[in-house]
Structure 1
Amino acid sequence: MAYIIRAVKNATEKYPILRGMATYSVLWPASNFLQQSLDKTREKFDPVESLRYLFLGSFVTAPTVYVWVKLASKIIKGTSLKHAVMKAGLEQVLFAPVGQTQFYLGITLLEGRPWPECVKEWKDKLIPTWKVAVCFWPVVQTINFAYVPEKNRVVVVSIASFIWTMFLSYMHHFDQERLPQFLRRMDQSGEAPTTGESDKVELSKDML
């Protein structure tokens, strides 16, 4: 047993990307599991859905995040609060749209849905998701670097990632017309599309 633990430790030290993949293999399905558990509109738990999150988080998102972190460290050098805020801002401009596109297209393709449906979900939910991310992640990173001891910062980011993945699971589960108005895609008139069905509007009150 000790040999196995040593081997795993050596592998993760030699290949840091494996640590990210192992973390996401727990983080993403656990976030989806909790979102399903809190969702009053679901009749039962869907374990296959959580397995999709495990696959996408481990084999797609984790490697992408690893590459982005390495790239961001080269673009903005430094570990001060100022540098952290700059990296958080750069992340929302350059990486967030890519990561969110990857999520919506990836999770819908894993469900076996036709490509036009995957693209439609991406178009409907990318901008609303990005607007929430811009409000969420820079605040988390600023607080993390300003007030949290360095040894605990990874824990804070992990907790924030857990909450964020729950939000992504929530956004993906509901159709455009069943989301609260502020999370809907705006049409050309500047207003969120509506269905005109009061029962669908009422559903938003029961989410989470």
Structure 2
Amino acid sequence: MGQWGRRAMAGMQQMWHAYPVTRGMTTYALLWPTSNMVQQGLDPGRQRYDPLQGLRFLVMGTFITAPTVYVWVKIASKLVRGNSLRHAMLKALYDITLFAPVGQSQFYFGISALEGKSLAQCTDEVKEKLIPSWKVAACFWPIVQTFNFAYVAERNRVVVVSVGSFIWTIFLSYMHHTDVQNRPSFLRPKRTNLEPQP
């Protein structure tokens, strides 16, 4: 790495130290668009990559999700003080019950808004996909967050969340871009008695 590269890295490290939220923002800026591109590559019906999708994931992850996760990690650390496994499991429980519905709603609403959809369309996206996504999140995130809260220093927790988020965002991208009828039944919303049968 040349002199310019060393200066850039030193500047980044100073920024990360002075503004801790930027650690997560930097990680999300790399991982979220990459997650979307991975999902696009896994989509058998896709003929070519859509770089605008990746750009929307970059904006959503960097400027909306990372700061929200940063604040949540701070709140969770204050809700339950301590770093034992028991404390970590309690924080993970709070994470899946308090933060996950907010974070997932924010994602579906925000990514739809970035696509230029109407308020009603953004709201419908949340209604259709929140519960099926949350069920999967309840199997994935408690494991990640228990490890995170028990064994990772607070200053690095957003980075660990963003690495878990890499995998999770592939799933969210799949949920967002796949029509209901093309998803497995457990990822479809349940019908109510008021809805007409097909």
The interval holding the TM-score normalised by the smaller chain is 0.7 to 0.9
Residue of structure 1 in register with 2:33 after alignment: 29
* In 2: Cα distance, 1:41 partner to 1:179 partner: 13
**Given that residues 97 and 126 in structure 1 are in contact (C-alpha distance below 8 angstroms), is that contact kept between their aligned partners in structure 2?**
yes
Deviation at 1:158, TM superposition (A): 4.3
1:97 and 2:101 correspond: yes
1:187 and 2:187 correspond: no
Deviation at 1:141, TM superposition (A): 3.4
For residues 30-65 of structure 1, give each alpha carbon's deviation from its aligned partner in whole angstroms, at most 9, with x where no partner exists. 000101001101111101100000000000000000
Q: Which amino acid aligns with 1:64?
A: T
- Residue identity over aligned pairs, in percent, reads 54
Where does 1:9-88 land on structure 2 (aligned, <5 Å)? Answer: 9-88=13-92
Structure 1 unaligned spans of 5+: 196-208
Deviation at 1:159, TM superposition (A): 3.7
* In 2: Cα distance, 1:122 partner to 1:138 partner: 22
* In 1: Cα distance, 2:184 partner to 2:110 partner: 24
In structure 2, do the counterparts of structure 1 residues 65 and 150 end up closer, same or farther at CA, with 3 Å as the change threshold? closer
SS in 1 for 2:189: coil
Residue of structure 1 in register with 2:119 after alignment: 115
SS in 2 for 1:42: coil
Residue of structure 2 in register with 1:174 after alignment: 178
In structure 2, do the counterparts of structure 1 residues 81 and 128 end up closer, same or farther at CA, with 3 Å as the change threshold? same
1:129 and 2:123 correspond: no
* In 2: Cα distance, 1:46 partner to 1:194 partner: 35
In structure 2, do the counterparts of structure 1 residues 194 and 166 end up closer, same or farther at CA, with 3 Å as the change threshold? farther
Deviation at 1:178, TM superposition (A): 2.2
Residue of structure 2 in register with 1:204 after alignment: none
For residues 124-162 of structure 1, give each alpha carbon's deviation from its aligned partner in whole angstroms, at most 9, with x where no partner exists. 00011011101111123345677xx758x9676444221
SS in 2 for 1:128: helix
Q: Which amino acid aligns with 1:94?
A: L
Residue of structure 2 in register with 1:203 after alignment: none
* TM superposition score normalised by structure 1: 0.83
Q: Which amino acid aligns with 2:7?
A: Y
Structure 2 unaligned spans of 5+: none
* In 2: Cα distance, 1:94 partner to 1:55 partner: 24
The farther-off stretch of 98-107 and 159-168 is 159-168
* In 1: Cα distance, 2:53 partner to 2:108 partner: 14
For residues 76-108 of structure 1, give each alpha carbon's deviation from its aligned partner in whole angstroms, at most 9, with x where no partner exists. 111111111111110111100100010000001
Aligned residues: 191
* In 1: Cα distance, 2:43 partner to 2:81 partner: 42
Q: Name the structure, 1 or 2, with higher relative contact order (CA <8 Å, separation 6+).
A: 2
How large is the Cα RMSD of the aligned pairs? 2.4
* TM superposition score normalised by structure 2: 0.87
